[in-house]
């Protein structure tokens, strides 16, 4: 097992991932395709065309870092810019950042929701009832809606 891990780390270094950056979770191709809402063959083509970075295990299987999946999240909501606009929730705020929920912590009447968007993290404080109503959980895709100094969460 330690040998396979060393191989993955070596492969990640070959893909120019900084040595001081912690290892990211690696996803199987089917899991990445499911999260990006594309087909398995599409993911394979993206790898071959170097559109998305992957690492190879000791057995030669491709794995995709979660950071790569996060980089593509905003693109998978529609094939064209017009379609993405139509698929976006009907709301007046235009500063919507799509990412992945890292943590939902509910305490009393309030909930703290942390969303990763690329290499950044946004924290929002919302009501506990809103978090429960939207059934927010770690790993889900969500959008942070930025309005002045407030951040609202939209489950997508």
pLDDT at res. 16: 42
d(CA 13, CA 7): 10
pLDDT at res. 7: 42
pLDDT at res. 18: 41
Contacts of 27 (CB under 8 A, 6+ apart): 35, 63, 64, 65, 66, 69
Spell out the per-residue pLDDT of the chain, length 156, in tens. 444 444 444 444 444 444 444 446 899 998 888 888 788 898 999 999 999 999 999 999 999 998 888 777 765 555 555 665 666 556 666 678 889 999 999 999 999 999 998 888 999 999 999 899 889 999 998 988 887 767 788 887
For every residue of 1-29, DSSP letters joined together read: -HHHHHHHHHHHHHTT--TTSPPPPEEEH
């Amino acid at each position: 097992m330690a040998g396979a891990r060393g191989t993955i780390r070596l492969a990640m270094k070959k893909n120019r991932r900084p040595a001081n950056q912690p290892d990211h979770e690696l996803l199987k191709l089917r899991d990445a395709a499911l999260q990006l809402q594309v087909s398995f063959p599409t993911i394979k083509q993206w790898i071959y065309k170097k559109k998305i970075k992957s690492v190879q295990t000791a057995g030669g299987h491709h794995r995709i870092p979660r950071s790569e999946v996060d980089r593509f999240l905003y693109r998978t909501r529609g094939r064209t810019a017009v379609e993405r606009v139509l698929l976006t929730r009907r709301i007046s705020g235009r500063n919507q950042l799509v990412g992945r929920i890292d943590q939902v912590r509910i305490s009393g009447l309030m909930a703290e929701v942390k969303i990763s968007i690329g290499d950044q993290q946004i924290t929002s404080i919302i009501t506990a009832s809103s978090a429960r109503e939207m059934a927010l959980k770690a790993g889900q895709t969500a959008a942070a809606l930025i309005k002045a100094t407030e951040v609202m969460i939209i489950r997508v």
